[in-house]
Amino acid sequence: MNRVRMGVIGLGWFGVKHCEALAAIPQVELAAVCTRTESRLAEVAATFEVPSAHTDYNQLLADPDIDAVSIVTMWDQHTEPALAALAAGKHVFLEKPMASTTEDCRAIVTAAGASDRAFMVGHICRFNPRYAAAKQEIDEGKIGRIVSMYARRNIPAAVTTEILEKIGPIIGDGVHDTDLMLWYSGEQVVSAYAQSLSWRNKPHPDLGWTMFRFASGAIGVLENVWCLPDHTPFQIDERLEIIGTEGSIHVQETHPNFSIVDADGWRSPDTTYWPTHFGRLRGALVDELAYFATCVQEGRKPDVITPEESLAAVEACLAAERSATTGEVVRL
């Protein structure tokens, strides 16, 4: 296979970011886009000079010239297009979280396992070089047995006003660090206890704190606050601490590892996930999509993240959400 001809299904903010990333990857051709909103479809197709544009993803999937799709719809709209794409013989990159229920996740895992196509869920943090370096240190035994993990992933309220209509912070952002903790520990979550707080009267809470117990006895704590003050000068406060019996690892992401002070004040732009350098999108999003495309070209299934691992992260986060609702410990 020469260039991988890919289509993007779902053209919200992040779907367009996927288009930018795919357009920046030499071995990929952005060949089709799909969304139900005709005006948005026309705008994106024109911006990226995409020859094939659809309001129905089934039409895109019927195109024999499309090798693979990137599905960037809302999480509760992942299952049907993912299953349809696999049934149509397409390679599938599916944004996280895998799906909104464990039942749907299991259906996707089963379909991916039965297919000879490449399938991958976009757990972008595994392609963050700092988190990847931490994994290498852990696997080499540098910090001994993990006993405690703490992750913070907090963002300003203005960013989440509309998002909270569709998804909450524990699964929306906590799934990133839940996946990292599962990856680092190599253990399953056996229980979850969480508390949440709502003050904007949205369908989902403004913040959530979660405590996981892992099979080894290790404890993991997640802090996911989606209501930092609007004047916060950075997009995200992201950090991770891993404590082992023989050492520890500390990751400080975005704020305050890069700051700019100018006439507009202080700001800390992203330099990791999807920064633009010299007119082209770079970073972890490009890296993970390029990795997926390479797997497609080489005829192998991605193994940096497996479908089963993605399912485990969703299961743990949904258990935490149930705990926050009931006030009880949820055992998995």
Give residue 258's pLDDT. 84
Which residue from 138, 150, 182, 125 is spatially nearest to 312, judged by alpha carbons?
182
pLDDT in tens, the chain (332 residues): 789 999 999 999 999 999 999 999 999 999 999 999 999 999 999 999 999 999 999 999 999 999 999 999 999 999 999 999 999 999 999 999 999 999 999 999 999 999 999 999 999 999 999 999 999 999 999 999 999 999 999 999 999 999 999 999 999 999 999 999 999 999 999 999 999 999 999 999 999 999 999 999 999 999 999 999 988 888 899 999 999 999 999 999 866 678 888 998 888 888 899 999 898 899 999 999 999 999 999 999 999 999 999 999 999 999 999 999 999 999 99
Q: Given the DSSP bridges, would you call strands 28-34 and 52-54 parallel, antiparallel or unpaired?
A: parallel
Q: How far apart are CA 30 and CA 227, in angstroms?
A: 36
**Both tokens of residue 7?**
């289509």
Give residue 160's pLDDT. 94
Instruction: Quick: pLDDT tens for 35-60.
Output: 999 999 999 999 999 999 999 999 99
**Terminus-to-terminus CA distance in the chain, angstroms?**
43
What SS3 class is residue 331?
Answer: strand
Give residue 270's pLDDT. 87
Amino acid occupying residue 49: E
Give residue 151's pLDDT. 98
CA distances (Å), origin 283, targets 92, 146, 176: 21, 29, 17
Residues 200/198/153/175 CA torsion (nearest 10 deg): -110
CA distances (Å), origin 125, targets 55, 142, 287, 316: 31, 21, 11, 17
Is residue 153 within 8 A of residue 272, CB to CB? The reply is: no
Give residue 10's pLDDT. 98
Q: Given the DSSP bridges, would you call strands 260-262 and 265-267 parallel, antiparallel or unpaired?
A: antiparallel
Give residue 200's pLDDT. 94
**Both tokens of residue 181?**
């903790």
Give residue 255's pLDDT. 62
Q: Tally Cβ neighbours within 10 Å of residue 234.
A: 20
Which residue from 286, 285, 287, 253 is spatially nearest to 270, judged by alpha carbons?
253
Provide the CA 194 distance to its chain's centre, in angstroms.
21
Q: Which residues contact 29 (CB under 8 A, 6 or more apart)?
A: 3, 4, 5, 6
Residue with tokens 């903790």: 181
Q: How far apart are CA 146 and CA 193, in angstroms?
A: 20
Give residue 35's pLDDT. 98
Q: How far apart are CA 250 and CA 256, in angstroms?
A: 14
Backbone angles phi, psi at 162, to 5 degrees: -85, -35
CA distances (Å), origin 67, targets 30, 170, 232, 297: 11, 34, 42, 10
In order of start, what are the domains of the chain with their CATH numbers?
A: 4-117 (3.40.50.720), 126-270+313-331 (3.30.360.10)
